[in-house]
Structure 1
Amino acid sequence: MPVPAPNLYPPFNIVRLSHVEYRVTDLAASRAFYVDILGLQVTQEDDHRIYLRAMEERGHHCIVLVQADTAEVGVLGFKLYDEPDLDKAAEFFANRDLPVEWVKRPHMGRVLRTRDPWGIPLEFYVTMDRLEPIHQKYKLYNGVKPLRIDHFNMFSANVDASVAFYNDIGFRVTEYTEDDESGRVWAAWMHRKGGVHDVAFTNGLGPRLHHTAFWVPTPLNIIDLLDLMSTTGYVANIERGPGRHGISNAFFLYVLDPDGHRIEIYCSDYQTVDPDLEAIRWSLTDPQRQTLWGAPAPRSWFEEGSTFEGATPMASDLKAQPIIAP
């Protein structure tokens, strides 16, 4: 089925994606990976959780690492435009018979906690503690030199349905992959902030989080990260890449944290701010959609993902499959 027309006047105004909470089984090991290897900055930590931000970010955190018995995803966070949008969002989710709860979160103002129709835990807020700018403190730039959180990609058992729901709350489709035989959407990329995507959905056992992505300055930063990981005991954590996607035009690398949470390092996608920008269609049989150049994706990239706390994944009935590396 075709992707829906953009909803230019959604019920509440999402500015962008904001943060993710990862439950991790060894906080010290996760700290070493995200801080010493990737180069994210610690903004606060104790024995149970670590707050991190990237170099250009003024908000208190983009990742929260939480010590837990099981590795999973606690929540995906999104920033709204203004305080009235929080109440409008609460009304929207309540009218859909989805949970609505006002929660207290450190370093944030009012926070609305809910779930999408498939159980993905979501939270919305307007204000987060602002920290001093550090983007010109170059002595702090380490690892891959991450500038900002860029997007979430999620496995979905029904991508068409996921696209329809997130379109209702204002995400606009920029590119999508269609299965020629069934006419169904196999994957879709949707944005709020003017890049190719804030959220994306990929066909598969879902809901699960496929990856969180960080924007870096240049492809050379990715090469530096590969050199660092290969000489510090993390070569086995390099899952896919480097390469370039056809979709989004991004130069990419996928790595796994100590618990298997997937992180994409990403640069060079394009601007999508025009509200009448037409979505780009790709055929599922076009090999350059996922890999313009580079090795084909391994089977793990299609099958493995992080579960969401409180959500039960279901298998997709769309069995079409793109190219997998041998």
Structure 2
Amino acid sequence: MGGFSITRAAHAELCVTDLERARDFYVEALGFVEVAREEDRLYLGGLEERDRYSLILKKAPSPGVTHLAFRVADPEDLDRLAALYESAGCPVRWLAPEEEEAGQGRALRVQDPTGLPIEFFHEIARRERLLQRFDLYRGAHIMRLDHFNCQVPHVQEAYDWWTGKLGFYCSEYTVTDEDPPRLWAAWLHRKQNVHDIALMNGIGPRLHHIGFWVADTQSVLRACDILAARGMGGAIERGPGRHGLSNAFFLYLRDPDGNRIELYTNDYIIPDPDWEPIRWSINDPRRATFWGHIPPRSWFEEASRVAHVLTGEWMPVREPLLVDRPVFVT
């Protein structure tokens, strides 16, 4: 595993074209905690979190994501990770403490072999945990960031990197119905639940969504009611429903710029490292929605562009290796 330990998905930076409009969606409607504000950035978090933030909204000419961040257990892990990515010929960029993000220590940004912009850090400023500040609960009761879901052109290659080089474990996976079957998607974790990152077959590299944990199923339904009451029902893309894969109760939303987030709750813990991954067929409709409802076409075809860690320009995308898609989606 390279002598390093990645602990969990930690935060992400989304690009938005209008900070006030984005704030209205994330803070006023959904109830994210507004932690701090700069001229071109908003720092947001969940009620349960101790990290200063888990979502940064950055004002930019077009939507997308600049990086997806993971915390490591030891500061020296950053140097070991840099050596790994450099040996693979991947672009590497070092950030001095607070160079771009207020409160964050020394950080490493890399373009992983799939083209995803990944950041690793150890030190970050802390804030008061608001879990028992029930007087401050608003909106959907956002608790914490849970995971990233990414579309990549070659899932097997990405899976081999994240499990073989970075030490992620697989909780569940989807395969095609060919003989032999081919890997269509995988849910990988470092913390002890279903995933910190999911790798899904599709045009990529792109960010499909960021998943945020909410307190309970009622929080998901409350989000729908609030959005509808504010005339923002169009933000609801898919759900509410229950995934077969992960067992989670979910709701997919599109922010005013089209970036996708998921409100997510009720999955399960994975207490042992020898957990046997659960296998799903791509054509089992219960995999996507346990109740059998068909996802909209946009859920498969639309996703956010990702930035190059050195230039900041949007990465070029490629068609997926597998042309198969679920038979229940035309």
TM band (smaller chain): over 0.9
Letter in 2 for 1:175: E
Report how far residue 100 of structure 1 moved: 2.1
Corresponding position of 2:29: 37
Corresponding position of 1:165: 161
Corresponding position of 1:18: 10
Matches within 5 A, 1:177-326: 177-181=174-178, 183-293=181-291, 295-310=293-308, 311-324=315-328
Q: Which moved more, 1:182-191 or 1:198-207?
A: 182-191
Distance change (3 Å), C-alpha of 1:62 and 1:230: same
2:286–2:292 contact (8 Å) kept in structure 1? no
Letter in 2 for 1:322: P
Report how far residue 201 of structure 1 moved: 1.0
1:299–1:324 contact (8 Å) kept in structure 2? no
1:40–1:54 contact (8 Å) kept in structure 2? yes
Partners of 1:11 and 1:99 in 2: how far apart? 21
Partners of 2:196 and 2:211 in 1: how far apart? 9
Report how far residue 289 of structure 1 moved: 0.8
Q: Could you report, residue by residue, the CA deviation over 1:243-282 in whole angstroms, capped at 9, with x for unpaired residues? A: 1111000011101100011110011111113110011111
Corresponding position of 1:151: 147
Distance change (3 Å), C-alpha of 1:37 and 1:317: same
Partners of 2:226 and 2:194 in 1: how far apart? 28
Corresponding position of 2:312: none
Name which of 92, 98, 103 aligns with 1:100. 92
1:38–1:146 contact (8 Å) kept in structure 2? yes
Stretches of structure 1 lacking an aligned partner (at least 5 in a row): 1-8
Secondary structure of residue in 2 paired with 1:164: helix
Name which of 115, 119, 122 aligns with 1:119. 115
Secondary structure of residue in 2 paired with 1:289: helix
Q: TM-score, normalised by structure 2?
A: 0.94
Distance change (3 Å), C-alpha of 1:11 and 1:267: same
1:11–1:92 contact (8 Å) kept in structure 2? no
Large movers: runs of 4+ above 4 Å:
323-326
Name which of 45, 50, 61 aligns with 2:42. 50
Report how far residue 11 of structure 1 moved: 3.7
Distance change (3 Å), C-alpha of 1:291 and 1:323: farther
Letter in 2 for 1:180: D
Corresponding position of 2:56: 64
Q: Could you report, residue by residue, the CA deviation over 1:55-114 in whole angstroms, capped at 9, with x for unpaired residues? A: 000111101101110111011000000111111111111111112221133211111111
2:105–2:122 contact (8 Å) kept in structure 1? yes
Q: Which moved more, 1:113-122 or 1:242-251?
A: 113-122
Aligned length: 318
Partners of 2:258 and 2:3 in 1: how far apart? 36
Partners of 1:306 and 1:324 in 2: how far apart? 24
Q: TM-score, normalised by structure 1?
A: 0.95
Task: State the Cα RMSD in Å.
Answer: 1.2
Letter in 1 for 2:176: D
